[in-house]
């Protein structure tokens, strides 16, 4: 049988800083002067600006992606209408730190060994001098500015910030927590909460991030500029004011599609990727009457953060710079809301890996939808090419410029997501293939089975499909980097022992 794939290939720790980024650190703005090599160059006048918008834990519940019929995201949707939206875009890791590290360095987690919520990439000896996307732009005359969460946690650490960006905005802190939690989950982690808070939109930390970005755009950034704006929602705690909950009435709520006993045909190892986490299982959400409130809060906070994206886009339009500014909007990974029996991320299934990815501006086709597999890893080389810069060396992603010109352009690579050493998902246009560290596998036909309810890996007629996807498993797959911590899983194929955060996994202790 000749193979014809549908791709056309020819925290337990959540540090507060990890949620709100630099917002809670004070009111100052850190700036440093341009180095001589970064001084104004006549060529800079022809280079586009970049507005780089990151959203935390946003899955495909966005209007232009159709992940939920009740998603209300008019501002992200209008950005998509004036640009190209990638409908099959995926993260490199379903966890904040490794995903963001990969995007900003252009290297896979399997290359750096950054799989957990720690370490910071520059503490890994081999990558202390890695040139990140903003540093690369700095070297080519761009003024780089950051506000909100772009890297994970408190990264970059305070002593290293001057070398990472020219300027890091730190707005007045917003009201990040109510006096008492609304929801008490099994381990009662302080971030596992959702409900109406604060009373006013302008008091939310994400509004403060938008305030700072809007003011900075209004003041006039030196061109060409790279402005990175990172929003925390809909990452837990899912807090928004009452108006956003009213936009999604409980009585009208459409719940995510669910198959009882969904996991009967998947390997036990699939559980190991999210063995002990603060995010509650679906069984707990149901028995405690919290599934509907969580779904409602996720929709509400997504709509709120969309409104803040809209404020930044409006400021760009008012500045007169929109026609010479590339806008790219992305999320670091998806989020489960009951699918596969869990809430949260940390899986290799579609709900956890699929992300919004939208480009608009110079060099980008308007009103286009691209179904080719895309990776967050591709942003670095794509932006370099769109800006007319030399191709950065050592990139493991591939420029999306061909697809930004023609959404039907052939793409020769799938999207690859890895979560800890040995665990990988390969996503083509038609299929998702998963291989775990113990050799167990899954295969889903996303065209006929978008919810991934039927694992077809053992079907004789699909052996060629499995083989074709299997060949994309990363050849370099290093162990966790020194200093790795939180959500780190290792596996010894000789002893068949899996270790979760330093403790052996005992399957009988599995939490359904």
pLDDT, tens only, 121-164? 999 999 999 999 999 999 999 999 999 999 998 888 888 787 89
Q: What is the pLDDT of residues 302-330, one digit of tens each?
A: 999 999 999 999 999 999 999 999 999 99
By three-state DSSP, how is residue 92 classified? coil
* Mean pLDDT confidence for 489-494: 96
* Length of the chain (residues): 512
pLDDT classification of 510: cutoffs 50, 70, 90: confident
pLDDT band of residue 61 (cuts 50, 70, 90) is very high
| pLDDT score at 43 | 55
Mean pLDDT, residues 352-369 taken together: 98
User: pLDDT (tens digit, 9 = 90+) per residue, 263-277?
Assistant: 999 999 999 999 999
Confidence class for position 101, pLDDT limits 50, 70, 90: very high
Position with higher pLDDT, 173 vs 78: 78
- What pLDDT, on a 0 to 100 scale, did the predictor assign at position 3? 37
When pLDDT is averaged across residues 493-507 and rounded to a whole number, the result is: 95
pLDDT band of 46, cuts 50, 70, 90: confident
Model confidence at 10, pLDDT cuts 50, 70, 90, reads very low
pTM above 0.95, yes or no: no
* Per-residue pLDDT at 31: 54
The predicted structure's pLDDT at residue 176: 87
Q: Over the chain, what is the mean pLDDT?
A: 91
pLDDT band at 203 (very low <50, low <70, confident <90, very high): very high
pLDDT of residue 434: 98
**Cβ neighbours of residue 226 closer than 8 Å, sequence gap 6 or more:** 49, 50, 52, 134, 137, 142, 143, 144, 145
Predicted confidence (pLDDT) per residue in 390-410, tens digit: 999 999 999 999 999 999 999
pLDDT at 1 over 80: no
Pairing of strands 325-331, 49-56: parallel
Report the b/e string of 389-409 with b at 16+ CB within 10 A.
beebeebbbbbbbbbbeebee
Please state which of the four CATH numbers 3.40.50.300, 3.40.720.10, 3.90.1410.10, 3.30.470.30 is assigned to the domain occupying 18-413. 3.40.720.10
Half-sphere exposure of 9 (CA within 13 A, CB side): 15
Higher pLDDT, 17 or 364: 364
pLDDT at 44: 60
Predicted confidence at residue 154, as pLDDT, reads: 83
> For position 2, what pLDDT does the model report?
35
DSSP per position, 127-157: GTT---HHHHHHHTT-EEEEEE-SSSTTPSP
CB contact set of 452 (below 8 Å; sequence gap of 6+): 340, 349, 350, 432, 442, 444, 446
Question: What pLDDT is recorded for position 474?
Answer: 98
Q: 40: which residues sit within 8 A by CB, 6+ positions away?
A: 141
For residues 452-469, average pLDDT: 97
Q: Please determine, for residue 7, whether its predicted confidence score (pLDDT) is greater than 60.
A: no
Whole-number pLDDT of residue 256: 97
Least confident span in 1-15, 285-299, 331-345, 450-464: 1-15
Query: Cα dihedral sign for 265, 267, 273, 277?
Result: positive
Q: Is the pLDDT of residue 472 over 90?
A: yes
Given a cut of 80, whether residue 166 has pLDDT beyond it is yes
What gap in Å lies between CA 420 and CA 37, rounded to an integer? 38
Q: So which residues are the catalytic ones?
A: 96, 152
**pLDDT attached to residue 14:** 31
Average pLDDT over residues 20-35: 41
Do the bridges between strand 83-86 and strand 368-370 make them parallel or antiparallel, or are there none, so unpaired? Answer: parallel
Instruction: Please give the residue that has the higher pLDDT: either 24 or 356.
Output: 356
- Cβ burial, residue 289 (10 Å; 0-12/13-18/19+): exposed
Digit-coded pLDDT (tens) for 221-248:
999 999 999 999 999 999 999 999 999 9
Task: Return the closest-CA partner of residue 21 out of 213, 244, 306.
Answer: 213
């Amino acid at each position: 049988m000749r193979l014809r794939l549908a791709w056309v290939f020819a925290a337990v720790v959540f540090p507060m800083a990890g949620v709100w980024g630099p917002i809670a650190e004070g009111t100052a703005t850190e700036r440093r002067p341009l180095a001589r090599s970064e001084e104004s160059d006549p060529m800079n006048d022809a280079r586009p600006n970049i507005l780089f918008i990151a959203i935390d834990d946003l899955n495909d519940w966005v209007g232009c992606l159709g992940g939920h019929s009740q998603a209300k995201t008019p501002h992200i949707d209008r950005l998509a209408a004036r640009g190209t939206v990638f409908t099959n875009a995926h993260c490199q890791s379903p966890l904040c730190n490794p995903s963001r590290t990969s995007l900003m360095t252009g290297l896979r987690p399997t290359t750096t060994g950054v799989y957990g919520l720690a370490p910071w990439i520059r503490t890994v000896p081999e990558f202390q001098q890695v040139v990140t996307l903003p540093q690369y732009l700095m070297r080519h005359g761009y003024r780089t500015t950051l506000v909100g969460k772009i890297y994970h946690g408190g990264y970059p650490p305070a002593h290293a910030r001057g070398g990472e960006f020219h300027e890091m905005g730190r707005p007045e802190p917003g009201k990040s927590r109510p006096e008492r939690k609304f929801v008490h989950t099994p381990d009662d982690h302080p971030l596992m909460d959702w409900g109406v808070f604060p009373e006013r939109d302008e008091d939310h930390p994400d509004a403060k991030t938008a305030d700072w970005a809007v003011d900075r755009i209004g003041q006039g950034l030196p061109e060409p500029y790279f402005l990175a704006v990172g929003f925390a929602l809909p990452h837990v705690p899912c807090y928004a004011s009452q108006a956003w909950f009213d936009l999604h009435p409980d009585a009208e709520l459409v719940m995510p599609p669910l198959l009882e006993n969904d996991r009967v045909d998947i390997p036990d190892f699939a559980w190991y990727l999210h063995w002990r986490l603060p995010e509650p299982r679906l069984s707990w959400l149901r028995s405690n009457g919290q599934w509907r409130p969580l779904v409602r809060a996720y929709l509400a906070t997504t709509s709120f953060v969309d409104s803040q994206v809209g404020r930044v886009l409006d400021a760009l339009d008012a500045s007169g710079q929109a026609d010479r500014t590339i806008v790219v909007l992305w999320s670091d990974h998806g989020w489960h809301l009951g699918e596969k029996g869990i809430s949260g991320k940390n899986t290799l299934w579609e709900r956890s890996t699929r992300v919004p990815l939208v480009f608009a501006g110079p060099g980008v086709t308007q009103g286009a939808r691209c179904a080719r597999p895309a990776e967050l890893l591709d942003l670095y080389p794509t932006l370099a090419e769109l800006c007319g810069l030399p191709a950065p060396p050592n990139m493991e992603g591939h420029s999306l410029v061909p697809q930004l010109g023609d959404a039907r352009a052939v793409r020769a690579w799938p999207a690859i997501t890895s979560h800890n050493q040995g665990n990988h998902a390969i996503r083509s246009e038609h299929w998702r293939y998963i291989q775990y560290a113990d050799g167990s596998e899954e295969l889903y036909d996303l065209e006929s089975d978008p919810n991934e309810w039927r694992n077809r890996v053992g079907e004789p007629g699909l052996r060629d499909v499995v083989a074709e996807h299997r060949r994309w498993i990363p050849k370099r797959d290093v162990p966790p980097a020194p200093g790795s911590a939180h959500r780190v899983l290792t596996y010894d194929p000789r002893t068949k022992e899996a270790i979760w955060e330093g403790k052996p996994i005992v399957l009988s202790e599995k939490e359904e």
